[in-house]
């Protein structure tokens, strides 16, 4: 059965070092990405309550490490299929805050220009593909990217995120099997956040899906999903394995969805003790303790993030709404428009290679 | 020019594109060593190798989903559904992932999905369908359906080069039954209609195998036959021009009647060709039943040459 165990770095302890591959600036960068995610989402929730964000609003409060860590391990030429509670991955790849707020508000300057809402976006110019609501469809898309990399003999990898509920659908099986059969350079990150909407794990599967990886012929690892450095390290290892021809890896990030499925969901179905237990494992608090022990001025990081977010909101509020006359435009492409490289801030890439 | 069957023309299109363009590869169930259920890729694995002639797991969602992934990083996959009917298992990836990708995020999806479709040979309810209307109703997908070897080759090459998902309906009943001259080398057939025969007393608007049914049924009649070739985009001007010329129209579908391609054509004519009509818009199609297995039952539901001839005589006399 899936667990709620973490490395138990709760309370005031400084979490253990789990990666030898993170420089001081990386560890700050990981915190910054998580702070950006939390700050953007908190501000977007305010905008939602003010009626400036149409539809509903989905966030990843408490799960920031699940996207920040793996995205940090990805090279510019790698490709990402990002899920709805993974905003930090977009931040790491270089999507500016204003374009994210514009996205939430359905503005012209949002990543999809108002064509799709909330977290359904991916900036193709940064190597990212936006999700669809049918989960986990993007597992197959990531598998196909990896298939192309292998066919062309390229040292690149694809990564995708999906939730515990997704493991019940057929596309999970088709992607896991396909990637296993062809030994493809793809990383599957399973965000086990304990609930699929209101459905708990014991109604979702009889066996923790991390164990299924073995049945498909590749490795499955269970990782403390609230430890951003542990998530980075597991992904770095998976990527190395993928580039060396070792095939896919399933990384189960054990975490907790601390808010409702979306803004309307009061999550009455979640026991209060469960929330309290996980609150003590907050991924941002834990990274802050790490950095404070290193003597980093965390308040300065927070101040810079707040300033960036403030400026982003202001810019986005000035974006016009899309022109209704364009609603039927651009159904078909006239010219190819493919994925391009994104930002890859990990210091391990400084030599320009796939570190 | 070389004389080829419809099936050989499809093979030739893929072979030529694969020779010219490293990005093009084919993927599907049993298409490699076996050469495909209908032998469309016979000999391909010997020429292009197992990576570019990919035997996939039995997973239609997987075939279409991974093709999308390969395409957004620069490949041009051609997917084979073993039968068009099986595309229902890959529907979600095609409709929700591929079809909406460009509109949502400006990312083009250059995939071609080949669908051996149609009935007439006791394939039964799961090997005889014409599911093109499902995809006409799904924004972002192009849908083409050739009736001749020349168009089978040219439309497939155009589909492979198109930066959008294209559903390519190839009618199984035409595979070895239709043979004609096909230009050598590569060429693109436009996604527009063509006149299969000129005539003046009435028009039949149709596509795919029904083009041949229409030709046979009207050998001794002065009937214009418009072969749509492409359903999305639909060549509205060609349809309206022919209706304006003959003033009478029969719309012939092999697909199930409700919301078939022909229903869209009928709606178009009612809306924009009304003034040109000199008789009712007549439709002939398969009733809304699964395609039955036994020959007398199957023939009772699929439009037959005699049905078309009778409908034409009635309309001409109107």
Domain containing B230 — which CATH number?
3.40.50.920
Task: Pick the last residue of a domain from B149, B182, B215.
Answer: B182
Contacts of B86 in chain A (CB under 8 A): none
**Could you tell me which chain B residue has the CA closest to the CA of A138?**
B65
Return the axis-axis angle of helices A64-72 and A24-49, rounded to nearest 10°: 140
User: Does B158 lie in the same domain as B119?
Assistant: yes
- Asked if A137 lies within 8 A of B92 by C-beta distance, the reply is yes
Give residue B180's pLDDT: 98
Distances (CA, A) of A270 to A42, A193, B295: 21, 12, 59
Q: What pLDDT, on the 0 to 100 scale, is given for residue B242?
A: 98
Closest CA–CA distance from residue A175 to any residue of chain B (Å): 7
Pairing of strands B76-80, B223-227: unpaired
Longest CA pairwise span in chain A (Å): 57
Q: Do B65 and A129 touch (CB under 8 A)?
A: no
- CA–CA separation, B114 and B27 (whole Å): 10
Nearest to residue A144, comparing CAs of B302, B245, B74? B74
A69-89 per-position pLDDT tens digit: 999 999 999 999 999 999 999
pLDDT of residue A13: 83
Q: Are residues B159 and B223 both part of a single domain?
A: no
Using an 8 Å CB-CB cutoff, list chain B residues near A144.
65-71
Write out the residue range of the structural domain in which residue B30 sits: 2-182
Nearest-neighbour CA in chain B from A250: distance (Å): 18
- Domain end among B182, B209, B242: B182
Cis ω before B7 (30° cut-off from 0): no
b/e code B215-244 from CB counts within 10 Å (16+ = b): bebbeeeebbbbbbbbbbebbbebbbbbbe
Where residue B247 falls (left for φ over 0; alpha for ψ -120 to 50; beta otherwise) is left
Whether residues B141 and B209 fall in one domain:
no
Structure tokens at B179: 């043979």
| Chain B residues contacting A via beta carbons under 8 Å | 25, 51-52, 56-57, 59, 61-62, 64-75, 92-93, 96-97, 100-108, 110, 139-140, 142, 163-164
**Domain check: are B11 and B113 in the same one?**
yes
Q: Are B168 and B112 in contact (CB under 8 A)?
A: yes
Among residues B152, B158, B136, B147, the alpha carbon closest in space to that of B265 is found at B136
Say which CATH superfamily domain A24-319 falls into: Thiamin diphosphate (ThDP)-binding fold, Pyr/PP domains (3.40.50.970)
Residue A332 near chain B (CB below 8 Å): yes
On whether the CB atoms of residues A321 and A109 are closer than 8 A, the answer is: no
Asked if B105 and A130 come within 8 Å (Cβ–Cβ), the reply is yes
Considering the domain architecture, whether residues B251 and B102 belong to the same structural domain is answered as no
Establish if B130 belongs to a structural domain: yes
Query: Could you read off the pLDDT of A236-270 as tens digits, one per residue?
Result: 999 999 999 999 999 999 999 999 999 999 999 99
Nearest to A79 among B73, B102, B104 (CB): B73
Same domain, B119 and B219: no
Strand order from edge to edge, sheet including A219-224: A128-130, A79-82, A158-163, A186-192, A249-254, A219-224
Smallest Cα distance from B23 to chain A, Å: 9
Q: Cβ of B38: how many Cβ atoms within 10 Å?
A: 19
Strand-strand pairing, B142-144 and B166-171: parallel
CATH number of the domain residue B6 falls in: 3.40.50.970
Looking from the CA of A97 toward its CB, the CA atoms found within 13 Å total 26
The answer to whether A148 contacts B65, with C-beta atoms less than 8 Å apart, is no
- Which residue from B66, B103, B140 is facing A147, i.e. has the nearest CB? B66
**In the listed set B127, B160, B182, which residue is the last one of a domain according to the structure?**
B182
Determine whether B180 is exposed, middle or buried from the number of CB atoms within 10 Å of its CB (0-12, 13-18, 19+): middle
**A46: helix, strand or coil:** helix
Option in B62, B73, B102 nearest A148 (CB)? B73
The 3-state DSSP class for residue B249 equals strand
Strand B179-182 to B142-144 pairing: unpaired
Asked if B121 and B223 sit in the same domain, the reply is: no
| Shortest alpha-carbon distance between residue A169 and chain B (Å) | 11
pLDDT at position A4? 42
- State the best of B54, B107, B135, B141 to mutate against chain A, taking most chain A CBs within 10 Å: B107
From CA A8, how far away is CA A30, in angstroms rounded?
20
Shared-domain flag, residues B146 and B222? no
Q: How far apart are CA B45 and CA B123, in angstroms?
A: 28
Query: Is the pLDDT score of A7 beyond 90?
Result: no
Subunit contact B106:A124, Cβ cutoff 8 A: yes
Q: Residue A350: its pLDDT value, please?
A: 81
pLDDT at A210 over 70: yes
Is the peptide bond preceding residue B311 cis, with omega within 30 degrees of 0? no
Alpha carbon distance B101, B110 (integer Å): 11
> What does pLDDT average to over chain A?
95
Q: Select from A146, A170, A332 the Cβ nearest to the Cβ of B140.
A: A332
DSSP bridge partners of B76: B24
Q: Of all residues in chain A, what percent carry a pLDDT higher than 90?
A: 94
Angle between helical axes of B305-317 and B210-217 (0-180°, round to 10): 60
Element (H, E) at B115: strand B112-117
User: Residue A138's closest CA among B31, B135, B105, B22?
Assistant: B105
> Are B32 and B149 part of one and the same domain?
yes
A355 pLDDT band (50/70/90 cuts)?
A: very low
**Residue owning tokens 């860590």:** A69
Q: Are the beta carbons of A201 and A167 closer than 8 angstroms?
A: no
Residue B97 falls inside a structural domain: yes
Confidence (pLDDT) at A3: 41
Supply the DSSP string of A105-148, one letter for each residue. Answer: TT-TTSTTTTSS-TT----GGGTEEE--SSTTHHHHHHHHHHHH
ipTM for the whole predicted complex goes beyond 0.95: yes
Please write the tens of the pLDDT for every residue from A263-287.
Answer: 999 999 999 999 999 999 999 999 9
**116-175 in chain A: CB under 8 A from chain B:** 116, 120-124, 129-130, 132-134, 137-149, 151, 158, 170-171, 174-175
Backbone angle region of A127, left / alpha / beta, with phi > 0 → left and psi within -120 to 50 → alpha = left
Q: Is residue B32 part of a domain?
A: yes
**In this structure, are residues A35 and A284 in contact, taking their beta carbons and an 8 Å threshold?**
yes
Residue A59 near residue A44 (C-beta atoms within 8 A):
yes
Both tokens of B255, joined, read 């697909």
Q: Count structural domains, chain B.
A: 2
Q: Which of A137, A146, A141 is nearest to A171 (CA)?
A: A137
Chain A / chain B CB contacts < 8 angstroms:
142
For residue B70, the chain A residues in CB contact (below 8 A) are: 144-145, 147-148, 151
Dihedral angle sign, alpha carbons of residues B71, B74, B78, B79: negative
Residue A351 confidence class, pLDDT cut points 50, 70, 90: low
- Reduced to 3 states (helix: H, G, I; strand: E, B; else coil), residue B131 is coil
HSE, side-chain direction, 13 A CA sphere, residue B129: 19
Going from N- to C-terminal start, the domains of chain A cover 24-319
**Any domain includes B188:** no
| Residue A81: DSSP 8-state | E
> Mind telling me how many Å the CA of B253 is from chain A's nearest CA?
26
Q: Which residues contact B98 (CB under 8 A, 6 or more apart)?
A: B64, B68, B109, B111, B140, B141, B165
* pLDDT for residue A10: 54
Judging contacts by C-beta atoms under 8 Å, the chain B residues touching residue A178 are 56-57, 59, 62, 66
State which residues of chain B have pLDDT below 70. none
Angle CA B310–B311–B317, to nearest 5: 90
Q: Which residues of B are catalytic?
A: 127
Q: Are residues B139 and B269 in the same domain?
A: no
Does residue B187 sit within a domain?
A: no
Residues of A in contact with B79 (CB under 8 A): none
Q: What is the pLDDT of residue B237?
A: 98
Cα gap B299→A55, rounded to integer Å: 51
Same domain assignment for residues B256 and B158:
no
Report, as an integer, the average pLDDT of A140-160: 98
């Amino acid at each position: 059965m899936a667990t709620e165990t973490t490395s138990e770095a709760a309370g005031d302890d400084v979490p253990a070092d789990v990666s030898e591959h993170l420089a001081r600036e990386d560890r700050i960068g990981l915190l910054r990405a998580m702070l950006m995610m939390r700050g953007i989402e908190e501000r977007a929730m305010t905008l939602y309550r003010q009626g400036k964000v149409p539809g509903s609003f989905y966030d990843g409060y408490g799960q920031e490490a699940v996207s920040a860590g793996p995205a940090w391990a990805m090279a510019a030429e790698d490709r990402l299929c990002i899920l709805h509670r993974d905003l930090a991955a977009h931040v790491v790849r270089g999507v500016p805050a204003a374009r994210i707020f514009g996205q939430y508000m359905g503005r012209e300057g949002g990543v999809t220009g108002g064509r799709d809402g909330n977290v359904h976006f991916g900036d193709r110019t940064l190597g990212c593909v936006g999700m669809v609501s049918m989960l986990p469809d993007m597992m197959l898309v990531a598998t196909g990217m990896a298939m192309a990399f292998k066919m062309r003999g390229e040292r690149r990898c694809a990564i995708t995120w999906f939730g515990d509920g997704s493991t019940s659908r057929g596309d999970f099986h088709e992607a896991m099997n396909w990637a296993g059969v062809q030994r493809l350079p793809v990383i599957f990150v399973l965000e086990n956040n304990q609930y699929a909407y209101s459905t708990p794990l014991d109604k979702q599967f009889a066996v923790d899906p991390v164990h299924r990886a073995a049945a498909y012929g590749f490795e499955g690892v269970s990782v403390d999903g609230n430890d951003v450095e542990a998530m980075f390290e597991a992904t770095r290892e998976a990527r190395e394995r993928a580039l060396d021809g070792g095939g896919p890896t399933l990384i189960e990030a054990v975490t907790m969805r601390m808010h409702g499925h979306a803004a309307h969901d009061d999550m009455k179905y979640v026991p209060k003790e469960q929330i309290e237990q996980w609150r003590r494992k907050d991924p941002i608090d834990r990274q802050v303790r790490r950095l404070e022990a290193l003597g980093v001025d965390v308040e300065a990081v927070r101040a810079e993030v707040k300033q960036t977010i403030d400026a982003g909101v202001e810019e986005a509020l000035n974006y016009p709404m899309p022109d209704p006359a364009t609603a039927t435009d651009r159904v078909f492409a006239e010219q190819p428009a493919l994925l391009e490289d994104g930002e890859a801030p990990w210091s391990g890439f400084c030599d320009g290679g796939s570190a | 020019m070389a004389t080829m069957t419809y099936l050989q023309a499809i093979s030739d299109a893929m072979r030529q594109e694969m020779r010219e363009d490293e990005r093009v590869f084919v993927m599907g169930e049993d298409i490699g060593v076996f050469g495909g259920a209908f032998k469309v890729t016979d000999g391909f694995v010997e020429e292009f190798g197992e990576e570019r002639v990919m035997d996939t797991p039995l997973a239609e969602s997987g075939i279409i989903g991974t093709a999308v992934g390969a395409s957004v990083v620069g490949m041009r996959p051609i997917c084979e559904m073993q039968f068009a009917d099986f595309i229902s298992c890959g529907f979600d990836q095609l409709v929700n992932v591929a079809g909406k990708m460009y509109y949502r995020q400006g990312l083009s999806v250059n995939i071609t999905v080949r669908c051996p479709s149609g009935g007439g040979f006791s394939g039964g309810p799961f090997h005889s369908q014409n599911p093109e209307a499902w995809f006409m109703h799904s924004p972002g997908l192009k849908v083409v359906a050739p009736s001749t070897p020349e168009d089978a080759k040219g439309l497939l090459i155009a589909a492979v080069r198109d930066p959008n998902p294209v559903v390519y309906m190839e009618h199984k009943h035409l595979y070895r039954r239709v043979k004609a001259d096909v230009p050598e080398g590569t060429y693109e057939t436009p996604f527009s209609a063509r006149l299969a025969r000129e005539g003046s007393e009435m028009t039949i608007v149709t596509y795919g195998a029904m083009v041949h049914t229409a030709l046979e049924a009207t050998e001794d009649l002065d009937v214009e036959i418009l072969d749509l070739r492409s359903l999305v985009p639909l060549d509205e001007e060609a349809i309206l021009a022919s209706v304006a010329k003959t003033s009478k129209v029969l719309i012939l579908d092999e697909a199930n009647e409700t919301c078939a391609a022909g229903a869209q054509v009928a709606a178009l004519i009612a809306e924009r060709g009304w003034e040109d009509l000199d008789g009712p818009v007549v439709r002939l199609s398969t009733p809304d039943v699964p395609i039955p297995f036994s020959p007398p039952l199957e023939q009772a539901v699929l439009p037959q040459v005699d049905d078309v001839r009778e409908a034409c005589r009635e309309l001409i006399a109107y």
